[in-house]
Amino acid sequence: MNTVALELVPPELQAGAGRAIEESRTAAEQCCRYGLAEHVGHVMIPGIIAEGEDRPVELTSRMDVLDFWEIIRPSIGTIAGLCTQVTVFLDVEQLATRVQRLRDVGLDGITFVGKPQGLAAVEAPGASPGEAVTRCRSLIPHRGVVLIPTRRGELGRFASKCEHGATFALTQLLYSERIVGFLREFTMRSEHRPEILLSFGYLPGMEQRVRLIDWLIHDERNELVRQEQEFVACAASSSQGKRRRDLVDLYRRVVDGVHDLGFPLSVHLEAPYGVSGPACETFAAMLDHWSPR
């Protein structure tokens, strides 16, 4: 893929197609204004589901990935599409049908996601991400899994997903250099070299009050995550210029650290509070350092 994927979240279901078109056009205008458009090769559309009752921002019902993609596709030109798909609510055959439909409407790749936070295993009896990438080998060319380098036991978990047939990995939002050490250690344990989509998120000042990003990355009693949360809190309390410099410097250290480890690299850009001018300006500054395109 060797791409830059900009995440676009489907609008609230009740807002309808008009809102979908409006939000995609606004994002495109911001990308053009700040020089990001020349880099973006894909949009990443997440499949939104309820996750945890303590989420600091209420999660309302969202438009389905497939419907959102079909609505915005005519207005985004040659930009291709990626998406995420939660697997555990579908059995293998239902999942295969869903993947075929996503492929039929032109989506290039799918990141298969497992059980949401706070959900008991008995409530998610469907296919695992590993089973999904195995079953869908012939259905979609780019089959992804989630990679959380700070998570306990992730080396073995990631190796297993690669054995099942994952061709790429979408990292959790990166607010430290932990991914560098993780991938370096992985190269010593495994011959697999899937493409890595390095995920970077914009931090607006309102994070200091709302703490959505803090919630997204939290992992109780995990020292590596606690350090990332400290970075997020410190950056959120800084001026906009200082936040941009801190995020661009982190991007530089991560990219420079993983660049020569033998993995194909892509970049995933996410604005958890919504695509904005400051977010696009920061992302463009990151890509000035290095871009896969």
Yes or no: say if 281 and 275 are a contact pair by the CB < 8 Å rule. Answer: no
In this predicted model, which residue has the larger pLDDT, 181 or 51?
181
Q: Tokens 């409407």 — which residue?
A: 105
Q: What is the pLDDT of residue 293?
A: 80
Owning domain of residue 51: 4-289
**Other residues' Cβ atoms within 10 Å of the Cβ of residue 220:** 6
In our burial notation (b when 16+ CB lie closer than 10 A, e otherwise), range 186-217 reads beeeeebebbbbbbbbbbbeebbeebbbbbbb
In this predicted model, which residue has the larger pLDDT, 183 or 117?
183
Residues 6+ apart with CB under 8 A from 66: 101, 102, 105
Residues 6+ apart with CB under 8 A from 195: 1, 2, 142, 167, 168, 169, 263, 264, 265, 266
Q: Tokens 């306990």 — which residue?
A: 152
Q: What is the pLDDT of residue 123?
A: 66
Q: What is the pLDDT of residue 44?
A: 98
Closest CA to 158 of 173, 169, 142: 169
Question: Is the pLDDT assigned to residue 286 strictly greater than 90?
Answer: yes
The predicted model gives 142-168 an average pLDDT of: 97
Query: How many domains, the chain?
Result: 1
pLDDT in tens, 211-230: 999 999 999 999 999 999 99
Rounded Cα gap, residues 247 and 282, in angstroms: 8
Q: What is the pLDDT of residue 118?
A: 63
Assign residue 179 the CATH number of its domain.
3.20.20.220
45 bridge partner residues: 83
Rounded Cα gap, residues 291 and 104, in angstroms: 29
44 bridge partner residues: 7, 82
Q: What is the pLDDT of residue 21?
A: 94
